[in-house]
Structures are given as C-alpha cells and as structure tokens.
A and B are shown apart, each in its own frame.
Chain A
Amino acid sequence: MTTYSLVLGDSATMLRRNLRRMRRYPSLTFFIAGIPVVLLLLFVYVFGGTLGAGLGQVAGGRTEYIAYVVPGILLITVAGAAQGTAISVAMDMTEGIIARFRTMDIARVSVLTGHVVGSVIQTMLAIAIVMVVALLIGFRSTTGPLEWAAATGLLVLASLAISWLSVALGMVSKSVETASNLPMFLILLPLMSSGFVPTGSMPDGLSWFAEHQPFTPLIETVRGLLVGTPIGNSGVVAVGWCIGISVVGYLWARRLYDRDPAA
C-alpha cells in the first residue's frame, strides 16, 4: 500500500471509530447544538427587540435581528464544538488503546485525522439543528442554493480549523478538566465580533479587536451568503484565517502526538 492510501485508509478506520463513539454518546452532539440554540432564543427573544431597533435600519426590530444574529450563532456553534473535541481527545489519550495504536504500523496521523473529521461532521450536524430552529423562529434567507453551498463550505472550513486547534488543545492538556477549560476563549471570540452587534457600536479598542479577529470576517461572509449583505474582502480574509489556523493546529497537534506519552 502506498503511503497516501495508507493514510487515507487508516484515517477512514479511525473516523469510523470516532463516529461509532459519537453514536454511543449522542448527548454530546445535542449538547453542542443545545448551547447555540439557547443563545439564539435568548438573543432573539430577550435582547432582540432592543438590539434590532439599534441596528440602524428602517423599521428595525426582532425580525431584522434574527437575520442579523443567525450567522453569529452558526459560528458560535463551530467555536463551541471545540470544547467537545478537546475533551474527547484528552479522554482518548488516557485510554490504553492509543498506546496500542502507537505500537502498530499504521499512519500515525490517522488517530488525529479521525478525531478532526469526526468533529467536523458532528459540528455540521449541530449546525443543521441550529439552522432548523432558526428557520422555525422566522429566519428567512434571501439568497440561492449556490450561496448556501458556499456558506456550508466556509462553515466546514472554519470547523476544520477549529477542530485541528482543539485536537492540539486536547492533547496539550494534562487532564480532561484542563481540556474542558482551555477552549473557552474560542466561545468568547464570536461574542466579541460583529456577530451580535455591529463593531462600530463598540468602544475604539474593542472595535479594532473585533474587526481584526478571525470570527468577524467569517460571520460577515456567512451573513452575506445567507441574507445578501455586502461581503467585500471578508471572504478572502476568512478563508485565509481558516487555512492559517488549520495549518498551525495540524503542526502543533502532530508535534504533541509525536512526543513520548507520559508514563
């Protein structure tokens, strides 16, 4: 077998392993979807009336706010999944079977790619659940299937980046508790972006941060693709961030996995 097909074959085996584990513990997927759904309802029904009025559009209100906030909620779903990924990686690393994998002639990276691809699939499932709730409470898209496909593609890319990063975070953690806490900053990032209120309404320093962190271009692009707001150069910047974070997460995770396991 060539190295390439070996990596692919072993990764597929590891992915099946992770998907089966997810099916055994479906609660995690629902948890990953549950938090964003709660946030969506919270922002729309509790804050939405006032926030919508402040968007500065004519006849702003709750309905307009739904259109504004959904992309942010989708990206919060992506960021929130990081915690689940980091926890399951950290838990997996404590299992004896990982030691067995390390002494087998298999593509080493497959243990990691299995987790990453599994986590992307899990995230996309959660996003589908969130989207259904969004549509139920009145989210209406103004764009066509091509834009939806592009939005899906970008969300997959974002999820890939976050997954590689969280696999590394899960491995760098010495305990499952740490793995659960480390990715918390990822959930805060979408809150400090253009996801919930326009960055222009923030104080100077925060608004600069919001405009230059990865989640704002991601959210702006998804918003543009779903409800037709202008995208500008956000798309290119978003894709750039995703690729950059993926590469850093991948290299970091590989380095951590190649370390000798602790006794």
Chain B
Amino acid sequence: MTAIRSVVAIRAGGLRKSYGKQVVLDGIDLEVAEGTVFALLGPNGAGKTTMVRILSTLIGADGGEVHVAGHDIAREPDAVRSVIGVTGQFSAVDGLFSGEENLQLMADLRHLGKQAGRRRVDELLQRFDLVDAARKPVTTYSGGMRRRLDLAMTLIGDPRIIFLDEPTAGLDPRSRRGMWQTIQELVAGGVTIFLTTQYLEEADRLAHRIGVLDRGVLVAEGTPDELKRLLPGGHIQLSFTGAAELERAARAFDGASRDDESLTLQIPSDGGIPSLRALLDKLEADSIDVDALSLQTPDLDDVFLSLTGNPDEQKVTVR
C-alpha cells in the first residue's frame, strides 16, 4: 500500500459507467504517477467529464476499481476527498457571494482556523490577481476571473491531487496562458494533475502522459512523443503534370509510394530542412519538373483524428 502511495497518485482498473443503456466508460485502465500531469484528451461526449466525476468521488462507478492517493474511492471517499481538489467545467462558485466570501467559505470548510484562513484567502486573492474584485459579487466577474476564483477555491486546502475538467474551455488566449502557467507552477510544487481537454496543444504542452478517450474507450495512452510515433512518419508529397515525370521521379526516389491516378509521389521524410534540401537538390540534378510540393508532418492532431476515426490531412503546401 505504501509503495503504491509513493509512486502512483491515481490508478483505475476496468472502470465502467453507463447511464441506462448508454455506455459512457467501457473499461478504462490508467495510472497517473505522483507529481505528473495526465491529460485526458477526447472529443465532446467521449466520457471525459464522467471520468473526472467518478475519480473525484462525485458519482459512483458501475464497475472496476479506482484508487486515488492509495485510497479506494468507493470505500474511503472521505480520505480521497481530503487530498483532492476539483475544478469542474461549470464554475463551482457561489454566485451571490463576492470572491473573498467564496474563498473564506472554502477556508472555513477546510477548517483552517481564523488567522490561517484569512492569510490563505489574501494570499490566493493576490496570486490570482483578484484583489481589486475581492469585494465584488461573483456575478460581475468575467469568465476568466471566475475560472481563476474557481481554481483559487480548489487550492485553499493545498490538495495533492487536482482534477481540472477542461480548465481553459471558453477562455481567451491570455487567460489560457495564465492557466497553463498556474498548472505548471503547481506541478513544480509536486502536485499531481489530472486534466481533461479538447485542445491538443494544451495536452502537448502540459502533460507528461496523454490518454486519448473516444466513445468511452481509451484508444491510446503514452507520452506526447510516443503518441506522435504511433502515426506513420511524415512525408513529402510531390505532384506532377504528366505520367512521364512521375515515372522519372519514382525511379529517382527509392521507397517512395506512387499514385498514378492523382499523379503524386509520397517520399518518406522527417520533414526537416536538411532532408528537404537534399530532395530539392536531387530534383534539380535530375531535372525533374514538379508541379507542387507539400510537406506533411504528424502532430497530435493527426494522432487524435486518426485514433478517433476522423482522418484529416494537415498540409503545408509550397508551390
């Protein structure tokens, strides 16, 4: 038990949940190491929010086992609750209260005591840039301010494990960056973060490991680099005006795959400048006339779309 606690912050095995006949989570297995960021990536309706709701003890699972900080969430929910913090997709603040009152409420519920609570409230108001708005009712806050307050409320009790359900959904670019920075600071302080997102950039930038959730199934899991490697490597695609040119080019490049119908040739490449230059030099040396050239490098978008059954082509075309 102690061994698990020191290494794994969250462990789920065979996690299932259905609403009526609709299966929302269909046997999820995952592990999140302490002090790391795990991003659950998936389209709308994939089951991300349900996952967070179960892991954070808000709702029960239908099957499977989940341990958070070494505690079984079904048998010891209060032990789990004492070490976690949750910021959901919909703001969990009291709209009738001011930001300060909301934080004070959390401090009281975390039993911080009068002085320590007061200090913590002031500290968080400062840190999240809410000092000026502290006494104003939350209903007057902007989306970004609400989200900051929401996170500040989550941090009152210094949780070791934080669940963030789409923490940057609906935020403007500047607020999003602020949120990313906060998350990075938290992780630097040893906190474990489990976040859900629809944004690949966000997962790529923040997460140590990413799980791709699609229709209740974890279709892939690994580091961002591992996931990128799942896709066939990048390639350079050449288009020609005639079959003769295509024929010549195909003979010049070994291992290229040709498509006679669209008069294109795909040459495997890492997409780097040196390999591109080498290719252009060879075309010039052989005087092969190319109509168009496009460079295709796999990014998380390709991984995501190919895994979730929605192929798309991400192209940079050079003419």
Show the binding face of A for B, using Cβ within 8 Å: 1, 9-10, 13, 16-17, 20-21, 24-25, 95-97, 99-106, 260-261, 263
A261 and B49 alpha carbons, distance in the complex (Å): 13
CB-defined contacts of A95 to chain B, threshold 8 Å? 92, 94-95
Q: Return the contact of B84 from the options A20, A24, A103, A263 (Cβ within 8 A).
A: A103
B82 with A105: CB separation less than 8 A: yes
Q: How distant is A190 from chain B, measured CB to nearest CB, in Å?
A: 31
Q: How distant is A3 from chain B, measured CB to nearest CB, in Å?
A: 10
A115 and B49 alpha carbons, distance in the complex (Å): 29
Interface locus among B6-14, B53-61, B211-219, B271-279 = B53-61
A24 with B96: CB separation less than 8 A: yes
B19 with A99: CB separation less than 8 A: no
CB-defined contacts of B84 to chain A, threshold 8 Å? 103
CB-defined contacts of A24 to chain B, threshold 8 Å? 96
A105 and B96 alpha carbons, distance in the complex (Å): 23
Q: Return the contact of A13 from the options B19, B92, B96, B105 (Cβ within 8 A).
A: B105
The yes or no answer to B111 lying at the interface (CB within 8 A) is yes
Q: Return the contact of A102 from the options B58, B82, B153 (Cβ within 8 A).
A: B58
A13 and B157 alpha carbons, distance in the complex (Å): 16
Check A13/B78 contact, CB under 8 A, given A95-B95, A96-B90, A103-B86.
Answer: no
Interface string of B47-81 (1 = CB under 8 A from A): 00110000011111000000000000000001101
B108 with A13: CB separation less than 8 A: yes
CB-defined contacts of B95 to chain A, threshold 8 Å? 95
CB-defined contacts of A17 to chain B, threshold 8 Å? 94, 105
A104 with B92: CB separation less than 8 A: no
The yes or no answer to B91 lying at the interface (CB within 8 A) is yes
Given A20-B97, A104-B81, 14 further pairs, Cβ under 8 A: A17-B94, A17-B105, A20-B101, A21-B94, A95-B95, A96-B88, A96-B93, A97-B93, A97-B94, A99-B86, A99-B88, A100-B88, A103-B86, A106-B109
B56 with A103: CB separation less than 8 A: yes
A1 with B92: CB separation less than 8 A: no
CB-defined contacts of A1 to chain B, threshold 8 Å? 111
A105 and B157 alpha carbons, distance in the complex (Å): 10
CB-defined contacts of B92 to chain A, threshold 8 Å? 95-97, 99-100
B109 with A13: CB separation less than 8 A: yes
CB-defined contacts of A260 to chain B, threshold 8 Å? 58-60
Main secondary structure of the interface of B (DSSP, over half): loop
Size band of the interface chain B makes with A: 20 to 34
Could you count the A-B residue pairs with CB atoms below 8 Å apart for me: how many are there?
61
Q: How distant is A113 from chain B, measured CB to nearest CB, in Å?
A: 14
Q: Return the contact of B81 from the options A96, A103, A261, A263 (Cβ within 8 A).
A: A103
Check A103/B82 contact, CB under 8 A, given A95-B94, A96-B92.
Answer: no
Q: What are 18 A-B pairs at a CB distance below 8 A?
A: A1-B111, A16-B108, A17-B94, A20-B96, A20-B97, A20-B101, A25-B96, A95-B92, A95-B94, A96-B90, A96-B91, A103-B58, A104-B81, A104-B109, A104-B110, A105-B81, A260-B58, A263-B49
CB-defined contacts of A20 to chain B, threshold 8 Å? 96-97, 101
Check A102/B105 contact, CB under 8 A, given A96-B90, A96-B91.
Answer: no
CB-defined contacts of B105 to chain A, threshold 8 Å? 13, 17
Check A105/B78 contact, CB under 8 A, given A13-B105, A95-B95.
Answer: yes
Chain A residue nearest in CB terms to B60 = A260
List which B83-131 residues lie within 8 A (CB) of chain A.
84, 86, 88, 90-97, 101, 105, 108-111
A100 with B60: CB separation less than 8 A: no
A105 and B90 alpha carbons, distance in the complex (Å): 20
Q: How distant is A5 from chain B, measured CB to nearest CB, in Å?
A: 10
Q: How distant is B251 from chain A, measured CB to nearest CB, in Å?
A: 60
A99 and B95 alpha carbons, distance in the complex (Å): 14
Q: How distant is B222 from chain A, measured CB to nearest CB, in Å?
A: 29
A144 and B91 alpha carbons, distance in the complex (Å): 53
B57 with A102: CB separation less than 8 A: yes
Closest 10 CB pairs of A and B: A96-B92, A100-B92, A105-B82, A105-B81, A260-B59, A13-B108, A103-B86, A103-B56, A96-B90, A97-B94
A56 and B268 alpha carbons, distance in the complex (Å): 106
Interface string of B148-163 (1 = CB under 8 A from A): 0000010001000000
A16 and B101 alpha carbons, distance in the complex (Å): 11
A245 and B56 alpha carbons, distance in the complex (Å): 34
A10 and B96 alpha carbons, distance in the complex (Å): 20
CB-defined contacts of A105 to chain B, threshold 8 Å? 78-79, 81-82
Check A9/B86 contact, CB under 8 A, given A17-B94, A95-B94.
Answer: no
CB-defined contacts of B57 to chain A, threshold 8 Å? 102-103
Chain A residue nearest in CB terms to B84 = A103
CB-defined contacts of B82 to chain A, threshold 8 Å? 105
Q: How distant is B43 from chain A, measured CB to nearest CB, in Å?
A: 17
CB-defined contacts of A103 to chain B, threshold 8 Å? 56-58, 81, 84, 86
CB-defined contacts of B81 to chain A, threshold 8 Å? 103-105
A100 with B153: CB separation less than 8 A: yes
Report which residue of A95, A100, A101 has the largest number of chain B beta carbons within 10 angstroms of its beta carbon: A100
